Chain A
Amino acid sequence: MLQKKLLYILPLTLVACSGGDDDDDNVGTSRQAVIARYAEVVHTSYSASLTTAQAMKVAIDAFVAAPSEATHMAAKQAWLDARVPYGQTEAYRFYDGPIDNPTDGPEGQLNAWPLDEAYIDYVEGSTLAGIVNDTSIDISKARLSSLNEGGEGDVVMRDGGAFDAEAAVSTGYHAIEFLLWGQDRNANGPGQRAYTDFLTDANATAPNGDRRGQYLVAVTELLIDDLTAMVDAWAPDAANYRADFEAADPDESLKKIIGAVGILSKGELAAERMDVALDTNDQEDEHSCFSDNTHVDIQMNAMGVDNVLRGNWAGTSGASILDLVTEADATLGADLDAALSATQAAVDGIPVPFDQAIVTRDSADWTKVSDAVNLLFDQGDKIAEIGPALGLGNISVELPE
């Protein structure tokens, strides 16, 4: 009995001992190089998020200045384009880094969900709802920021833990999406807001078209401010978060990087963003419900995990965690590689639009989404194995915050 138990403990000890001195440049991939490549990918992807958001701002300014079918369409396309890089940056959440540190991380202001539509603008059956139609509220970046409460469990913790129940989710990508597309209360296709909602003349289809435009511009500016802060925090050769991150014990930085993608894979993307909708069978229980762009959100989140573990960004590659794993444990490296590929293939194969795929339990489309959830869980469990393999100890991939 006793011997058996000793054997059970022994291999773990050996792995722990062999893992510690791998970060030597002469022996395979250096941990420092992996972290440097990670920081480069983070900075590049936030920069792409900022650039596409700035392009969206140009399109939105043009739309608000001269609302028309064409300027409206251009603004919506710019929003869709901006979601592509941002979705991939969600892999940098979940370790209290710049995006979601409890003091001033902007995640809850950038991407909170579900959106409190009636808190922002008119909704079906309530034509004068929301801040847009409450002329006592001054619409400015600062005011909208103060009225926003983070979503997805982003409870604002003062010392001792507290929240502001008077604030609702009213900023970020999904607020812009709602103002551009409008409520999606129909089964076929996205929201049907007309550009005429932004007019103030006799052709206006809703009151306060000018305030609606001001709101749209202000939340877009807020989004750009927040993304700029992320780019600055990760800029090279500056006294910023990145400098500290690269100077820290590489093993500590690696633990953060790995835990974050595990959490995104399992609890956040698979459970929160996909599996709940499989249960509720609610068409609009999806992140980009106004635009029906949820399949892209899912694919980009999965790609964010893939980027981080492979050291990839937009066709470029570099020293990666997958390299480290493969050098330490070839079998786990091959398994992880296979898990990443299988997961990406599964999410890329999710039927479009997502909201039609999830409405009928056990249908072929529903099952495809459910299978992708299982693969994301498997991938999360596989990511959890990286910690011991690299001598980092156990890394929790369980708790999205």
Chain B
Amino acid sequence: MRRALGLLLLVGACSGEEPAAPAAADPYSGGAATVFDDGPDAYSRNAPGLERDAERTFFKGRALFRDPWVTAPASTETRDGLGPLFNARSCEQCHVRDGRGQPPALGEPMETMLLRLSVSSGEPEPTYGGQLQPYAVLGVPAEGTPVVAYETTDGTYGDGTAYTLQKPTFTIDALGYGPLADDVLVSPRVAPVVYGLGLLEAVPAEDIYALEDPDDADGDGISGRANVAYDRERDTMALGRFGWKGGQPTIRQQSAAAFLGDIGITSSLFADGECTAAQAPCSDAISGGDPELLDVILDNVTDYGRLLAVPARRDVDDPQVLRGEALFTEAGCAACHVATLTTHEDADFAVLAGQTIHPYSDLLLHDMGPGLADDRPEAMASGTEWRTPPLWGIGLLETVNRHTKLLHDGRAATFEEAILWHGGEAETSKEVFRNLGVDDRAAIVSFLGSL
């Protein structure tokens, strides 16, 4: 594909067209781990050219990502241990088509997202723990049923056009283990996309640290700092790369944490179950093993996330897209949504090594202001900080997931709304966007749609 494209560009150049600057953006968002698919399976493709062993690993991981877990004790011992409390029976149930979850509409059940729970000290909620599990195996009470409501805020663009923003808030009905603490904090989080993770893991930590500017020494109003989290496998502190607040240092640890929190499966990394001392029926339920997850299953699922390719950019020579990217950069968005990073040469899989990639993220934490704050710290992240989410592939969200909901709780229904929610370090950039004319705003949206 790369060859064919080179040829097209070359032919274009020969035919004497006026060379624009830049003539085209790089379609290879994930370097060699880019896939040319703009259909509903765009997030689900393996990186091209895998050796047979890696290909077998990818497909094993894919099966395990999608198969449901079952109640213990089952004959299939390696697949039992669901719950006793859980959010989903399989990874795929929330990461639908390897893509992004969304908040429920009014009156609908919450399905592809979760609620983190804590109290004002930052500790987990004492009875329910750090996450609400709305489901349980037969015979064990579920924790409760989230009920969504929406708050709206009105605003106006610089040109006078009105807009309305909304955000979901959750209350919890049918509490299974008594009342919640008075000072409980509820942080809703949608399931994030799972493609391209191997490339993000392969960016050298020093390159990310080099982007930090904690005291805003350059005075651009953007301070960016790395989250540093405990790496359980290596028993050391490490750069936090994954999760909405960058609270997990590796894909393996992120996956194991999700197995525990979301499906109720214990592992070598998280050996203690999710039941709190106040949840006896949960603690008394039959376990699926000690731990429940075989390391080899965790390894396959981890490598699946590593090897999921990034969809190629589209419309790379569309003038509107290119103008949109220039405006995006001028507005300062690219200071955090960093266009280009490079992976190190000795990544686990050759296809991930030494690649120039375009995630549009610095993997750093930024203070996003009170509008987006969940007031819930995680590792070194404060209640107002969020990790810059990568933007690659975001233009295919509607094609793959049949929705357009963005941000950590899916509150934004459009690219414009997502930008307008930005505050804190991004306040200046947001204001630039808000005061652009309708054509310029449309150009930025076109650019984001091309990713």
Contacts and interface: CB of A to CB of B under 8 A. Distances in A.
A117 B59 contact: no
Interface stretch (B69-77, B123-131, B151-159, B198-206): B69-77
Given A160-B403, A285-B76, A9 B96 contact: no
Interface in A247-292: 266-267, 270-272, 275-276, 279-280, 282, 284-285, 289-290
B447 interface: no
Interface in B1-47: 3-4, 6-7, 10, 41, 44-46
Contacts, number: 177
A5 B138 CA distance: 62
Contacts of B403: 160-161
Nearest to B45: A398
A149 B59 contact: no
Nearest to B97: A161
B111 A2 contact: no
B172 to A, nearest CB: 16
B59 A275 contact: yes
Interface in A160-201: 160-163, 165-166, 168-169, 183-185, 191
B3 A183 contact: no
| A interface residue count range (under 10 / 10 to 19 / 20 to 34 / 35 or more) | 35 or more
Interface string A147-165: 0010111010101111101
Contact of B74 (A116, A151, A159, A271): A116
A129 B71 CA distance: 10
B234 interface: no
Interface stretch (B82-90, B161-169, B210-218, B310-318): B82-90
B408 interface: no
B10 A152 contact: no
A151 B75 contact: no
B93 A163 contact: yes
Contacts of B6: 5
Contact of B137 (A113, A118, A125): A118
B66 interface: yes
B52 A377 contact: yes
Given A5-B7, A165-B87, A165-B89, A185 B73 contact: yes
A129 B138 contact: yes
A165 B111 contact: yes
A276 B52 contact: no
A129 B77 CA distance: 17
B90 A119 contact: no
Interface residues of B, number: 59
A124 interface: yes
Q: Is the interface of A mostly helix, strand, loop or mixed?
A: loop
A6 B7 contact: yes
Interface in A101-125: 113-119, 123-125
Interface stretch (B241-249, B292-300, B370-378): B292-300
B168 to A, nearest CB: 14
A387 B244 CA distance: 42
Contact of A276 (B10, B64, B137): B64
Interface string A229-263: 00000000000000000000000000000000000
Contact of A270 (B4, B59, B111, B137): B59
B73 A124 contact: yes
A184 B55 CA distance: 32
A399 B39 CA distance: 13
Contacts of A185: 73, 75
B65 to A, nearest CB: 8
A282 B72 contact: no
A118 B70 contact: yes
A226 B87 CA distance: 30
Interface in B380-409: 401-403
B59 A116 contact: no
B141 interface: no
Contacts of A124: 73
Interface in B321-372: none
Nearest to B102: A160
Contacts of A114: 67-68, 70, 74, 76, 79
A165 B300 contact: no
B286 interface: yes
Contact of B56 (A115, A162, A184, A275): A275
23 contacts: A113-B67, A115-B74, A118-B73, A118-B74, A118-B138, A119-B70, A126-B286, A157-B402, A161-B96, A161-B102, A165-B111, A165-B135, A183-B74, A183-B75, A267-B59, A267-B63, A271-B60, A272-B59, A272-B63, A275-B60, A276-B300, A399-B41, A400-B63
CB-CB nearest 10 A-B residue pairs = A153-B66, A271-B59, A272-B63, A161-B96, A118-B71, A282-B78, A116-B70, A280-B78, A284-B75, A163-B93
Interface of B: 3-4, 6-7, 10, 41, 44-46, 52, 55-56, 59-60, 62-68, 70-79, 82, 86-90, 92-93, 96-97, 99, 102, 109, 111-112, 134-135, 137-139, 286, 294, 296-297, 300, 401-403
Given A6-B7, A289-B75, 11 more contacts: A115-B74, A116-B70, A118-B71, A129-B71, A130-B138, A155-B93, A160-B102, A163-B88, A284-B75, A285-B78, A377-B52
Interface of A: 2, 5-6, 8-9, 113-119, 123-126, 129-130, 134, 149, 151-153, 155, 157, 159-163, 165-166, 168-169, 183-185, 191, 266-267, 270-272, 275-276, 279-280, 282, 284-285, 289-290, 373-374, 377, 396, 398-400
